[in-house]
């Protein structure tokens, strides 16, 4: 039964193909006879139609080509690249301006600081992060009047360290709150011994009955009673007899560009 159906389907397909072939053949013969009867006019008409279509395509392409669509797109892409480059230039200029503004603001503070103190404003010429020992270099030395053990101040007047080595035109400064270094200080009128943790930070253990709050000024007799930091955080547990007090310089030491070196040790 299945074989019979497949044979019928195949016979139908062949029959359909044969019918289409016969139809096409008849049409071709009729066109040929018409062309003979008309003396070749049918052929001329078909060639003209083909030529007309080809000519229309050429005209359309030329119209698109000369319309400026492709060139406009290229110009827009080039203009976009120019705008992006210009934006980058403006960003670089803005970054440079912000850096210069920050330096100018710091130098302005240094100028006010110099009105009340005798010393030298000098640039920091090494990174705070480059040394694990809490030291940095400044661009002034013996020729500029820098002396060993001189106190070094930030632009806000806080002690950042002391000069521990002097060369002709450079000096080495050791931070007061360098890692592991201890310094006796006062939180208000209450004594405490702080241990440096680096980066202008230190901590101390104080009795819980001492009232300490964030923002309190910390001073030290080791640097002539000058300010060495402010309280940044206080940690206290009810079961502990002591509180942990954290202090810091009120500015990011790694962002400083200038310091003020006092002429004397005190």
- Work out how many domains the chain is built from and give that number: 2
Q: Please compute the mean of the pLDDT values over residues 161-174 and round it to a whole number.
A: 94
For residue 226, give both structure tokens: 């000058």
Q: What is the mean pLDDT of the chain?
A: 78
Task: State residue 209 phi and psi, 5-degree precision.
Answer: -80, -5
Find which of 21-30, 42-51, 130-139, 256-265 is predicted with most confidence, using mean pLDDT: 256-265
Same domain, 178 and 248: yes
Same domain, 144 and 252: yes
Same domain, 62 and 126: no
Q: 195 with 203: CB under 8 angstroms? A: yes
Domain carrying residue 49: 2-66
Q: Is residue 196 part of a domain?
A: yes
141-149 contacts: CB < 8 A, separation 24 or more? Answer: 141/166, 141/167, 141/168, 141/169, 141/170, 141/171, 142/166, 142/167, 142/168, 143/168, 143/169, 144/120, 144/169, 145/120, 145/263, 146/120, 146/122, 146/171, 146/261, 147/263, 147/264, 147/265, 149/265
pLDDT at 43: 54
Lowest-confidence pick of 28-37, 86-95, 133-142: 28-37
Q: Which residue has the higher pLDDT, 120 or 115?
A: 120
Q: Please compute the mean of the pLDDT values over residues 250-261 and round it to a whole number.
A: 87
**Domain edge (last residue) among 48, 66, 84:** 66
Residue 225's SS3 state is: coil
Q: Is residue 86 part of a domain?
A: no
- Confidence bin at 103 (pLDDT 50/70/90): low
Is the pLDDT confidence value at 26 over 90? no
pLDDT at 171: 94
């Amino acid at each position: 039964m299945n074989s019979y159906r497949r044979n019928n389907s195949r016979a139908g397909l062949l029959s359909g193909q044969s019918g289409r072939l016969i139809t096409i053949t008849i049409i071709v013969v009729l066109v040929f006879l018409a062309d003979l009867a008309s003396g070749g006019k049918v052929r001329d008409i078909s060639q003209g139609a083909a030529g007309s279509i080809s000519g229309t395509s050429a005209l359309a392409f030329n119209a698109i080509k000369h319309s400026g669509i492709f060139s406009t797109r290229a110009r827009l892409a080039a203009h976009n690249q120019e705008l992006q480059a210009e934006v980058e230039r403006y960003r670089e200029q803005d970054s440079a301006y912000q850096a210069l503004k920050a330096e100018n603001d710091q130098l302005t503070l240094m100028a006010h600081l110099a009105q009340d103190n005798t010393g030298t404003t000098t640039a920091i010429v090494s990174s705070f992060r480059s040394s694990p020992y809490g030291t940095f270099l400044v661009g002034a030395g013996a020729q500029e009047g820098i002396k060993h053990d001189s106190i070094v101040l930030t632009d806000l007047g806080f002690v950042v360290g002391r000069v521990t080595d002097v060369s002709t035109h450079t000096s080495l400064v050791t931070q007061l709150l360098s890692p592991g270094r201890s310094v006796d200080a006062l939180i208000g009128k209450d004594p405490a011994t702080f241990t440096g943790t680096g980066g202008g930070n230190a901590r101390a253990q104080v009795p819980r009955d001492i009232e300490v709050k964030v923002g309190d000024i910390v001073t030290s007799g080791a640097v002539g009673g000058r300010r060495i930091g402010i309280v940044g955080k206080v940690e206290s547990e009810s079961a502990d007899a002591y509180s942990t007090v954290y202090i810091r310089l009120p500015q990011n030491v790694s962002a400083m560009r200038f310091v003020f070196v006092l002429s004397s040790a005190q």
